[in-house]
A and B are shown apart, each in its own frame.
Chain A
Amino acid sequence: MKLLQERTRKQKVGESRIIRTAVRLLVPFVQLFGLYVIVHGHYSPGGGFQGGVILGASFIMLSLAFDQQTSMRFMSERANALLGNLGALIFIGVAALCAVFGGLFLDYGALDVLIPLGPVEWRSFGIFLVEVGVGLAVMSIMVSLFWDLGSAGRMDEGL
């Protein structure tokens, strides 16, 4: 937050003061809501994709209201790429682990040998793990799509 204020004062980046202030206030709540949508997908509408998109939208808002460099300060490109890979790896890793631990592919019940929760409870937990992976991957890719398309591949100030 401090950083944003400094940067704005110094460089005069971004849109009008109203938009900048509103976005600055909104971003943490949007991110919190995104996390909520991901982890609460079992009990309410939501899940990995929806939550991931909301999380990604928070960074996109930052780069719309300020500029792309600002949003890349909060989520570096390297970290973003890492998260994208990690998300997809979580999904495929969990799926493959199920096969390695003696079940069929994607049979979360087979992970019972790791932590005995009971096969049905493991199915619920497996879905949760997978959704988190999906959420990470979707967030990272959405942000990266916006950065690349918005700056036509130059990764400078963007739109």
Chain B
Amino acid sequence: MSASNLHMYVMIAPLLTAFFVNLLGRRSRAWLAPLALGSLAFSSLASLVVLGRVVRSGGYRYTVGNWTPPFGIELVVDHLSALMLVLISLVALAATLSALKSAEQELPGREHLFFTLYLILIAGLMGLVLTADAFNLYVLLEITSITTYGLIAMGKGRAPLASFNYIIMGSIGACFYLLGVGYLYLMTGTLNMADIARILPDISGGAAVATALAFMLVGLWVKMALFPLHGWLPSAYSLAPTGAALLVAPLMTKVTIYLMVRVMFSIFSVDYLFLQNPLVQSGIVWAAAIGIVCASALALAQRNLKRMLTYIIVAEVGYMVGGVWLANSTGMTGALLHIVNDALMTLCLFLAAAAIYYRLGSLDFDRLQGIYRKMPVTMAAFTVGAFSMIGVPPTAGFFSKWYLILGGIESGHWEYVAALLFSSLVNAVLFFRIIEIGYFFKSGEHHGHELREEAPLLMQVPLLISAVALIVIGLGSGPLVDSVIRMALPGGF
């Protein structure tokens, strides 16, 4: 085994395991846990080694099939993609621990199918992070989408309808992205991102290139549910089986934001994106700010914990898109750090929601009365996640929000700063409302709810780990920014 292939093994381990999960899990569900957890544990360890190597000796490029880059497909392992690899494999590991329990409860008899799709989705996300080829990105995007459609449609009740809406919106996004790639291919004749970037400055044809950029971006925005294009996300994520939401909610949108960063800065130059069209740049920041405000306001109207969390995800997408388009290094740092933090916060909150759902069978606000007495450990972790989402210091959420606000002030986009502050305020209201319901309200008509009835250990362990991780990353965000994220900033900043 040659060592330079390590990042490939990170991705291939869940993919190969998926087939065995399908073949063996069909016979006995005892196979599921060891196979899934084993492969993800391997991926986590290997991705940590990859990150360590990248931090020590810099990023590198990898050519699949040993063809020189523009002819074969190139992969890129730099600080940013190695960091995302670690993030995906760790989040997936934690989510899988908890999903094992909730899938057992919700999808009896279909668990092997569920976990096969689950592992392929993880492998697809890892592949997305690694690729440096515009068309390969499309194929991987479709893998992650198709598995997500399936995972969501496995839910009960209205889930198939939500999934179908997601299919239509997701296909629009993917088709737009593919159109953008097509326009670029027609103009440059190549699909490798670095190669396109090399050719682009020399060709005439601003209209086609601008159209390509616009369509790629809009396609990715649909996929990541930026505010006016977010229609599919809340019902899709809140109606999905709990186990699926655990994986999809923390990772899908964040990886798409990573893709936006990758496409923007690998194909186009900072100069082309920000300086030639300052109007577009500030327009997008404005759109992000409006999106944050609207999504936060919509979150206030929800009466179900999971639905509320999905609207918060939409608002957070606005944070990161705005942060990237602030066009200064502070905002960019904040956006990249926020990808990591937001994945962990969302994971923590969804794990808590999964644990509550496992015991209560519902996440409506009026069922949450007295929940703090019933599940103190779960709710303690939930509170940490909530504080992080609000942005209370030592938790991770504070630091990335701090960078984003500083970036906004630095570039003079006060509307973005105001939107961030407004959204933090709304988050505070939202979470204190839940804390109020859960802590102070007595559960009136439900008898025996005063008993302590925690979720199973398998669901608590990842929850506690993610809560601790939020604080650890918060306290360690200085070193994280210095050693990884500063290096990950695209050239030109």
Contact = CB atoms under 8 A, between A and B. Distances in A.
Direct interface between A and B, CB < 8 A: yes
Interface of A: 81-82, 85, 88-89, 92-93, 95-96, 99-100, 102-110
A96 B16 contact: yes
B63 interface: yes
Interface in B43-65: 62-65
Contacts, number: 49
B276 interface: no
B5 A104 contact: yes
A100 B16 CA distance: 14
Interface in B3-47: 4-5, 8-9, 12, 15-16, 19, 22-23, 26
A100 B2 CA distance: 7
Given A81-B26, A104-B5, 19 more contacts: A85-B19, A85-B22, A85-B23, A88-B19, A92-B15, A96-B8, A96-B16, A99-B12, A103-B2, A103-B66, A104-B62, A105-B62, A105-B64, A107-B64, A107-B65, A107-B66, A108-B65, A109-B66, A110-B66
A137 to B, nearest CB: 10
Contact of B12 (A92, A103, A110): A92
Interface of B: 1-2, 4-5, 8-9, 12, 15-16, 19, 22-23, 26, 62-66
Nearest to A123: B65
Nearest to B26: A81
B12 A104 contact: no
Q: Is the interface of A mostly helix, strand, loop or mixed?
A: helix
B8 A105 contact: yes
A51 B444 CA distance: 66
Contacts of B5: 99, 104-105
B65 A96 contact: no
A10 B5 CA distance: 59
A101 B1 CA distance: 7
Which of A88, A99, A110: most chain B CB closer than 10 A?
Answer: A99
Contacts of B66: 103-104, 107, 109-110
A106 B12 CA distance: 12
A93 to B, nearest CB: 8
B19 A89 contact: yes
Contacts of B15: 92
Given A99-B2, A99-B9, A82 B23 contact: yes
Nearest to B123: A92
A105 B4 CA distance: 10
9 contacts: A89-B16, A89-B19, A99-B8, A102-B2, A104-B5, A104-B63, A105-B62, A105-B64, A107-B65
Given A99-B5, A99-B9, A100-B1, A106 B65 contact: yes
B12 A96 contact: yes
Which of A93, A102, A107, A108: most chain B CB closer than 10 A?
Answer: A107
B143 to A, nearest CB: 12
Which of B1, B62, B66: most chain A CB closer than 10 A?
Answer: B66
**6 tightest Cβ-Cβ pairs between the two chains A and B:** A107-B66, A106-B65, A99-B5, A105-B8, A104-B66, A85-B19
A107 B72 CA distance: 11
Nearest to B67: A107
A106 B8 CA distance: 11
B1 A106 contact: no
B64 A104 contact: yes
B2 A105 contact: no
Contacts of B26: 81
Given A82-B23, A99-B9, A92 B65 contact: no
A110 B65 CA distance: 9
A108 B26 CA distance: 32
Contacts of B12: 92, 95-96, 99, 105
Contacts of A102: 2
Contact of B65 (A89, A93, A105): A105
Contacts of A110: 66
A85 B186 CA distance: 37
B72 to A, nearest CB: 9
